[in-house]
C-alpha cells in the first residue's frame, strides 16, 4: 500500500510538471489523476448499479426492461409485432446495442407473464436459444395492459438524447419483481431475487393489507423440489436447496421429470456423464425425451441399486444445487438490501398509492363530466342559447351566457369558468334540437352513482385494494399453480452413496495401505472419497482418507472402510500392557475421530501388543480360549472368555484384566452372535426416508433378517430390506414391519368385470414386486388392510324408484379364506356401491406357540448398543471428542 501511495504521488508530480510546462495556468486549476480515477470509478459504478444491473422496487424493472415495455405499449395495436421492430423502437430510449435489448426481451418473454409470444422463443428446459429477432413476434398480455400501464399517473422524463419522453417508473400495480425474479452483477454489489408464485404473492398482499402475518417461498418455472428451511427471507446469507424430481420407473431405469432452477437438460445430462466418467455413479445410458415436459431416462446396469443411484445423483451431479439469494433493489436512486417480506409490503403499499391516484383522477374526471352535463342541461333546457342572438361581440356572448346561467348554478360543485362557457358555445344546433331531458337526467344520475362509488372506494381504500388483488387472481391465476414442491431434504453422505470405483490394498508387514499397491493383499472395493480405518499389532489405530499409498504403522492386523457414526460395528480386543505386564480385554466402537491422528488403544506403555482382535459389523461376541505359559505355581493355564460378558465401552477404556501372567496364545473357540438389541427404525414423512434418530413414526425393532412391507395406491405390494437410503414414492399407502404369517386384505375394483372383489393373501416371494390388482385400465385399489381381522362396511347406491339397500357389514376373515396373491378373490357384491368404509377390526389372539416365542425372546439378555458402563458414563462425551485428552484409568474388574 505504501509503495502504491508513493507511486501515485510521483505520478501526480510528473503530471503536474508536464501540465505546467505546456499550459500557462495557475496550479489550482489542475486536477490530480488519482482524483480523476476516483470520480470516474464512482460515476461508472453508480451508472452500472442504477442504470443496468439492479431493478427498482417501484415497478420491479431494470431500465432496459422498462424501456422494452414502454416500446411495446407505444406499438400496441392488438396485433403481434416483430421483435426486431420492437428492439429498434426501444433503441430510441436505450443507449445500447440491439443484442442486449433482444436478450432482455427474450428473458421477459420466457417468464410467460408480460409478453404474449409467437414463434421460437427458446426453451428454458433444454437451454435452446430463441430464434433471431426477425423471425419471432410479440405483443403485451392482457395482464400487462391492465397492471403495468397507466399514463395519467406516470411520471415522465426525457430520453437520453432529449428527443422522446420515457417513464421514470412504470405504475405497476402488482409485486412484479417477486413474481419474475431478478439477477444482476453490478460494481461492488449484486442482486438475486428469486421468482415466486403468482397466486401466493397475491394471497400475501391481501394478508398484508389485512394486517395479518404472511410467508411465501420461491417457485421456479422448471419445477423440481426445493428445501426452503434456510431461505432467510431472501436476505444475504440465506440459502435454498433445489433438486430434480427423480423417480424409479422400473428396477433398472430412473426418470427425471423436473429439473432444478438454474440448469437445463443439457447441463444436467453433462454433469451425470461426468460423474459416471469419474466413477462416482454407474449408468448404462441416458435418453433425453424432453419436449413440452422434461423426461430424462437414466438406464442402470444390473446389480446397481436405484435408491443409492438417486442419492448419488443428488450428491455428485447438478441434480441438486444450492442457490443463495441476495435481496438488493433500487429505491430513491440508492441500493437497498431488504428481504422479500419487506419487498412485498413496499410493493403492496405502492400499489395502494397508485390505486388511490387513479381513483382521484377518475373522481375529478367524473365530476368534470357531471359539471358540464349539468351546465349543458341548464343551457338547453332554459334556452339560454337564445340570449346570444342579439350580441355582436364575443365578450358579449360570453357575458350573456354567464348571466343566463347564474340563476341555475347554485347546486353546482364549483363556479362556472370561462372555459365552460366556451364549450357551451361549441354545442351544435343538431344536438340542441334533439336534446332529451329524460336521457340527460338519466346520464346525470349515472354519473352521480359512479361518483358515489369512487368516493366510497377512496374512503375504503384498503378494501378496494383487496378486491383488486382478488380480481387479478380470479382473472389470471387459474393456470399459475405452484410448480416447485416444498420439502425438507435429508442430508446425503457422499461416502455412503458413492460407487466403489477402486480397490484397496494393504502391505501388512511394511504398514502401507492404498489403491496403488496392486502387488500386495487386496482388502475391499472402495470409492476415492472413502475413509479407511487401520489397526496395528502394537495397539494403535488411525483413520485416513483413501489415497494411492499411506503409511500407518508396521504389522497391520485389520483394515476396513470406515463408517462415521457407526455404533453397530464392535471391535473385540485383548492386549498385553507393556513388556511383561498384565493382559486386558475390551469391547468398543469407533464413532468419531480426527483424521490422520494416531490413537493408542492400550494404556500407552512401551512394547504393548495386541494378542487378539476382531471386527464385528453387527456387534457379534465370540468365545475365545486363553492359554497361559507355564510359569511358577500357576495351575489354571487354559480357560474361555465370552465377549458377551464384556460391556461395550469407549475406545479409550482400559478394559477388564484377563491375567497378570504371560499369555501364550488365544484361540477362537466359537463364533459369536449379535449382542446388540434389534435396531429401532422410524419413518420421517417430511423427508420420506427411514432413520434411526427417532424422527417420525416408529416402524418397529428390526433384526438382520427382518423386512419392511410396502404397498402403493397403484396396487403394488413388496417387501424390502429396511435400508436408510431407500426412497419412498408419494403414492405409498402402507409401510410397516412385515410379519410373514400375517394376511393382507385387499378390496379392489375389477375393471373388466366392473365389480368390487375382496381377496386375502400372504406374500409369497420376498424382495419381489407384485401387482395385486388386474392391469385393466379401469381397475383400481379401493382398500388395503394389514390388520389380522379387518371389518368393512358397504354403502349402496339408491336404485331409481326403490328403497336403498341397508349397509352391509363384512367380516373379512369369514368372507374369504387366504388364497394366492394372484387370485382375483370373491365378489364383494353385485349391487352398485356408493362407498366402502373400514370399521374397527376384531380382536386378535396370538397362537400359543407364538406367545411362547415372545416369552423366550423377553428372557434373552441382550446388550443395548447405547449402553455404557456406569463408571464411564461421565466420559461418554469425551469419547466423542477426538481432540480432548482421555483418561485411560477406567474401572478395572478382574474376571479370573
All three cell numbers of 889, joined, read 484409568
All three cell numbers of 434, joined, read 334533439
Question: Which strand (E) or helix (H) includes residue 67?
Answer: helix 63-75
DSSP 8-state symbol, 697: E
Q: Of 588, 580, 631, 625, give the one whose Cα is nearest residue 606.
A: 580
Give the neighbor-by-neighbor strand order of the sheet with 638-642.
Answer: 638-642, 620-628, 663-674
Q: What are phi and psi of 616, to 5 degrees?
A: -125, 105
User: Which residue shows C-alpha cell 488411525?
Assistant: 542
Question: Which strand (E) or helix (H) includes residue 16?
Answer: helix 2-22
Residue 599 CB coordination number (10 Å):
17
Output the CA–CA distances (angstroms, integers) from residue 390 to 396, 400, 408, 425, 592, in the order listed.
Answer: 9, 10, 22, 15, 112
Cα separation, 459 vs 463, whole angstroms? 9
Cα separation, 674 vs 39, whole angstroms? 76
Output the CA–CA distances (angstroms, integers) from residue 810 to 17, 18, 364, in the order listed.
Answer: 108, 108, 74
Report yes or no: 552 and 513 within 8 Å, Cβ to Cβ: yes
Question: Which strand (E) or helix (H) includes residue 42?
Answer: helix 33-48
Give the neighbor-by-neighbor strand order of the sheet with 770-771.
Answer: 732-737, 708-712, 716-720, 770-771
Report yes or no: 224 and 258 within 8 Å, Cβ to Cβ: yes
> From the centroid of its chain, how far is CA 134?
38
Q: Of 878, 873, 877, 879, give the one whose Cα is nearest residue 891.
A: 873
Report yes or no: 574 and 612 within 8 Å, Cβ to Cβ: yes
Report yes or no: 130 and 108 within 8 Å, Cβ to Cβ: no
Output the CA–CA distances (angstroms, integers) from residue 490 to 229, 234, 259, 268, 702, in the order listed.
Answer: 12, 22, 18, 21, 22
**656: left (phi > 0), else alpha (psi -120 to 50), else beta?**
beta
State in Å, rounded, how far the first CA of the chain is from the last one. Answer: 75
Cα separation, 724 vs 726, whole angstroms? 6
Q: Beta strand pairing status for 137-140 and 115-118?
A: antiparallel
Alpha helices in 571-707 (DSSP H): none
Which residue numbers are catalytic? 135
**DSSP SS3 for 63:** helix
Q: What residues have CB less than 8 Å from 602, skipping those under 6 apart?
A: 538, 539, 575, 577, 584, 608, 610
Report yes or no: 864 and 675 within 8 Å, Cβ to Cβ: no
**DSSP SS3 for 764:** coil
Q: What residues have CB less than 8 Å from 341, skipping those under 6 apart?
A: 214, 215, 233
DSSP 8-state symbol, 477: -
**78: left (phi > 0), else alpha (psi -120 to 50), else beta?**
left
Cα separation, 761 vs 812, whole angstroms? 12
Cα separation, 725 vs 300, whole angstroms? 17
All three cell numbers of 294, joined, read 422434461
Q: Of 682, 677, 737, give the one whose Cα is nearest residue 865.
A: 677
R_g of the chain computed on alpha carbons: 41
Amino acid at each position: 500500500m505504501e509503495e502504491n501511495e508513493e507511486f501515485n504521488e510521483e505520478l501526480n508530480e510528473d503530471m503536474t510538471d508536464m501540465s505546467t510546462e505546456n499550459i500557462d495556468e495557475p496550479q489550482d486549476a489542475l486536477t490530480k489523476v488519482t482524483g480523476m480515477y476516483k470520480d470516474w470509478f464512482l460515476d461508472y459504478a453508480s451508472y452500472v448499479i442504477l442504470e443496468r444491473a439492479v431493478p427498482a422496487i417501484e415497478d420491479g424493472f431494470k431500465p432496459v426492461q422498462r424501456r422494452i415495455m414502454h416500446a411495446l405499449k407505444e406499438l400496441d395495436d392488438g396485433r403481434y409485432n416483430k421483435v426486431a421492430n420492437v428492439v429498434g423502437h426501444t433503441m430510441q430510449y436505450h443507449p445500447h446495442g440491439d443484442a442486449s435489448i433482444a436478450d432482455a426481451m427474450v428473458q421477459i418473454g420466457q417468464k410467460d407473464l408480460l409478453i404474449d409470444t409467437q414463434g421460437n422463443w427458446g426453451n428454458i428446459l433444454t437451454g435452446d436459444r430463441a430464434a433471431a429477432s426477425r423471425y419471432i413476434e410479440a405483443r403485451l398480455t392482457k395482464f400487462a395492459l391492465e397492471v403495468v400501464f397507466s399514463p395519467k399517473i406516470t411520471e415522465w422524463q426525457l430520453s437520453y438524447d432529449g428527443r422522446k419522453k420515457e417513464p421514470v417508473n412504470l405504475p405497476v400495480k402488482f409485486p412484479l419483481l417477486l413474481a419474475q425474479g431478478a439477477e444482476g452483477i453490478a460494481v461492488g454489489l449484486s442482486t438475486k431475487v428469486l421468482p415466486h408464485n403468482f397466486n401466493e404473492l397475491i394471497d400475501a398482499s391481501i394478508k398484508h393489507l389485512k394486517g395479518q402475518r404472511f410467508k411465501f417461498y420461491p417457485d421456479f418455472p422448471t419445477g423440481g423440489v426445493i428445501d426452503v428451511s434456510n431461505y432467510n427471507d431472501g436476505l444475504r446469507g440465506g440459502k435454498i436447496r433445489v433438486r430434480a424430481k427423480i423417480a424409479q420407473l422400473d428396477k433398472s431405469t430412473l426418470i427425471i421429470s423436473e429439473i432444478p432452477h438454474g440448469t437445463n437438460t443439457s447441463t444436467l445430462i453433462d454433469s451425470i456423464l461426468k460423474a459416471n466418467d469419474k466413477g462416482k455413479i454407474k449408468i448404462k445410458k441416458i435418453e433425453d425425451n424432453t419436449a413440452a415436459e422434461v423426461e430424462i431416462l437414466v438406464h442402470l446396469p444390473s446389480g446397481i441399486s436405484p435408491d443409492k443411484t438417486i442419492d448419488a445423483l443428488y450428491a455428485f451431479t447438478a441434480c441438486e444445487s444450492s442457490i443463495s439469494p441476495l435481496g438488493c433493489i433500487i429505491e430513491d436512486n440508492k441500493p437497498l438490501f431488504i428481504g422479500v417480506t419487506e419487498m412485498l409490503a413496499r410493493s403492496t403499499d405502492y400499489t395502494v398509492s397508485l390505486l388511490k391516484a387513479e381513483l382521484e383522477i377518475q373522481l375529478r374526471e367524473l365530476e368534470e363530466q357531471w359539471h358540464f352535463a349539468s351546465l349543458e342541461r341548464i343551457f338547453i333546457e332554459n334556452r339560454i342559447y337564445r340570449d346570444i342572438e342579439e350580441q355582436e361581440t364575443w365578450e358579449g356572448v360570453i357575458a350573456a351566457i354567464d348571466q343566463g346561467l347564474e340563476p341555475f348554478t347554485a347546486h353546482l360543485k364549483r363556479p362556472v369558468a370561462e372555459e365552460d362557457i366556451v364549450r357551451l358555445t361549441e354545442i351544435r344546433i343538431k344536438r340542441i334540437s334533439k336534446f332529451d331531458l329524460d336521457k340527460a337526467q338519466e346520464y346525470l344520475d349515472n354519473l352521480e352513482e359512479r361518483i358515489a362509488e369512487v368516493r366510497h372506494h377512496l374512503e375504503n381504500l384498503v378494501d378496494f385494494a383487496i378486491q383488486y388483488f382478488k380480481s387479478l387472481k380470479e382473472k389470471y391465476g387459474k393456470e399459475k399453480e405452484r410448480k416447485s414442491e416444498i420439502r425438507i431434504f435429508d442430508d446425503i453422505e457422499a461416502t455412503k452413496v458413492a460407487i466403489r470405483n477402486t480397490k484397496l490394498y494393504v502391505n501388512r508387514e511394511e504398514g502401507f495401505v492404498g489403491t496403488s499397491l496392486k502387488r500386495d493383499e487386496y482388502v475391499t472395493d472402495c470409492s476415492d472419497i472413502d475413509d479407511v480405518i487401520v489397526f496395528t499389532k502394537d495397539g494403535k489405530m488411525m483413520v485416513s482418507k483413501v489415497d494411492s499409498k499411506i503409511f500407518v504403522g508396521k504389522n497391520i492386523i485389520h483394515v476396513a472402510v470406515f463408517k462415521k457414526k457407526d455404533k453397530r460395528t464392535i471391535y473385540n480386543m485383548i492386549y498385553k500392557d507393556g513388556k511383561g505386564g498384565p493382559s486386558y480385554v475390551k469391547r468398543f466402537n469407533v464413532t468419531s475421530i480426527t483424521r490422520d491422528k494416531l490413537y493408542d488403544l492400550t494404556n500407552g506403555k512401551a512394547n504393548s501388543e495386541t494378542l487378539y482382535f476382531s471386527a464385528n459389523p453387527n456387534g457379534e461376541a465370540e468365545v475365545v480360549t486363553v492359554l497361559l505359559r507355564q510359569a511358577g505355581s500357576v495351575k489354571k493355564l487354559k480357560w474361555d472368555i465370552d465377549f458377551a460378558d464384556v460391556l461395550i465401552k469407549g475406545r479409550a477404556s482400559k478394559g477388564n484384566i484377563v491375567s497378570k501372567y504371560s499369555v501364550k496364545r488365544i484361540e477362537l473357540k466359537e463364533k459369536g452372535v449379535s449382542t446388540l438389541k434389534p435396531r429401532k427404525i422410524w419413518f420421517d414423512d417430511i423427508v420420506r426416508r427411514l432413520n434411526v434418530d427417532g424422527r417420525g413414526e416408529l416402524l418397529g425393532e428390526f433384526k438382520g433378517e427382518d423386512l419392511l412391507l410396502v404397498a402403493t395406491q397403484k396396487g403394488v405390494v413388496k417387501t424390502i430390506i429396511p435400508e436408510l437410503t431407500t426412497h419412498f414414492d408419494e403414492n405409498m399407502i402402507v409401510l410397516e414391519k412385515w410379519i410373514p404369517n400375517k394376511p393382507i386384505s385387499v378390496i379392489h375394483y375389477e375393471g373388466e368385470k366392473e365389480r368390487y372383489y375382496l381377496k386375502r393373501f400372504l406374500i409369497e416371494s420376498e424382495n419381489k414386486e407384485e401387482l395385486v390388482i388386474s392391469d385393466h385400465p379401469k381397475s383400481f385399489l379401493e382398500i388395503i388392510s394389514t390388520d389380522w381381522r379387518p371389518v368393512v362396511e358397504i354403502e349402496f347406491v339408491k336404485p331409481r324408484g326403490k328403497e336403498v339397500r341397508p349397509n352391509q357389514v363384512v367380516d373379512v376373515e369369514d368372507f374369504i379364506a387366504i388364497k394366492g396373491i394372484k387370485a382375483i378373490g370373491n365378489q364383494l357384491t353385485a349391487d352398485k356401491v356408493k362407498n366402502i368404509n373400514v370399521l374397527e377390526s376384531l380382536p386378535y389372539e396370538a397362537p400359543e406357540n407364538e406367545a411362547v416365542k415372545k416369552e423366550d425372546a423377553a428372557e434373552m439378555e441382550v446388550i443395548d448398543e447405547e449402553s455404557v458402563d456406569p463408571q464411564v458414563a461421565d466420559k461418554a462425551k469425551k469419547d466423542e471428542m477426538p481432540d480432548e485428552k482421555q483418561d485411560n484409568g477406567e474401572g478395572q474388574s478382574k474376571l479370573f
